[in-house]
Amino acid sequence: MKIVVTGSLGHISKPLTIELVQKGHTVTVISSNPEKQKDIEALGATAAIGTLEDVKFLTATFTGADAVYSMVPPNNFFDQNFDLMAYYSRIGNNYAQAIGQSGVKRVVHLSSIGAHLDKGTGIILGHHNVEGILNNLSNVAITYMRPTAFYYNLYGFLAAIKNTGIIAANYGAEDKVVGVSPIDIAAAIAEEIVTPLTGRKVLYVASDELTCNEIASILGDAIGKPDLKWIIITNEQVQSGLEAFGMPTQIAAGLVEMNASIHSGELFQDYYLNRPQVMGNVKLKDFAKEFATAFKEGAVQ
């Protein structure tokens, strides 16, 4: 199959590209960075250098493809002028136009846990909006991959652990969190993108189900702090802390609201009703080794 992969050589797109090439597919990887071209070609794929903001470029790249893996890349949460919801909608509309104009009939789109909800999820609402935009396409089979909480987001707690010796957020303790590795997401996408489909489909991707106390214990053991605790603080404390680091008020509020939906359990409700048949292979204890390396090196990712 001819498959277009967005996301350059990111956490998901790189292992996805490697697997698709190894399975004999013709893969084109979109990247906005010309310096990535040689790295993409080294994997046996073709590089398409351009931006997701350019509908003509997307349309030309998608034309002739049997399937497209689409995703909205992360952006700068500390840009005071950044409108996150507008960004999601813009990229979603660009994808919809390019898919429609190119004639692509099979799409696997990276969405998120909580994307079924139209309020109360903070920054996750952007994924809900993109799903809504893509649903307007006709005669296109779309799978929405909804991964759970990315393990690597735990890197955000490295500085706090170093400075205070604890993890603190407006969720924690016995709150349950379903985590996932990008490796497992890539494997699920590689399988799904070659699976025939009509209409729409939602697939959750998860690797491990743990309480925050269990997560703290596993990470603590890995970094030599077996008594590491994960405490719950107020929404206001998290909001002020994020703003103190320079995050715009609106984006900080979106993160606080997302975390609050984890604490209430609402974010994961639909996941538990539609659990994946097979959990991913990469468990938190596997990720903890990488976390420990970052902690030791003083890296804040």
Percentage, residues of the chain above pLDDT 90: 98
- Name the H helices within 63-205: 84-102, 125-134, 158-164, 182-192
Residue written as token pair 């706090």? 160
Q: Checking phi first, is residue 8 left (phi over 0); if not, alpha (psi -120 to 50) or beta?
A: left
- 84-102 and 125-134 helices cross at what angle (nearest 10)? 20
CB-count burial class (<10 Å; 0-12, 13-18, 19+) for 87:
middle
CATH topology of domain 2-150+181-206: Rossmann fold (3.40.50)
Phi first, then psi, for residue 115 (nearest 5°) are -70, -15
Average pLDDT over residues 171-178: 98
Which tens digit of pLDDT belongs to each residue from 96-145?
999 999 999 999 999 999 999 999 999 999 999 999 999 999 999 999 99
Residue 262 belongs to what H/E stretch? helix 249-264
In the three-class reduction of DSSP (H, G, I as helix; E, B as strand; rest coil), residue 260 is classed as: helix
For the record, the structure tokens of 244 come out as: 């103190």
Phi first, then psi, for residue 107 (nearest 5°) are -130, 135
pTM over 0.85: yes
Which tens digit of pLDDT belongs to each residue from 6-60?
999 999 999 999 999 999 999 999 999 999 999 999 999 999 999 999 999 999 9
In the structure, what pLDDT confidence band is assigned to residue 298 with cuts at 50, 70 and 90? Answer: confident
For the record, the structure tokens of 14 come out as: 């790189």
Domain ranges of the chain: 2-150+181-206
pLDDT number for residue 299: 52
In the structure, what pLDDT confidence band is assigned to residue 169 with cuts at 50, 70 and 90? Answer: very high
Percentage, residues of the chain above pLDDT 70: 99
In the structure, what pLDDT confidence band is assigned to residue 300 with cuts at 50, 70 and 90? Answer: very low
Distance CA 120, CA 249 (A): 17
In the structure, what pLDDT confidence band is assigned to residue 301 with cuts at 50, 70 and 90? Answer: very low
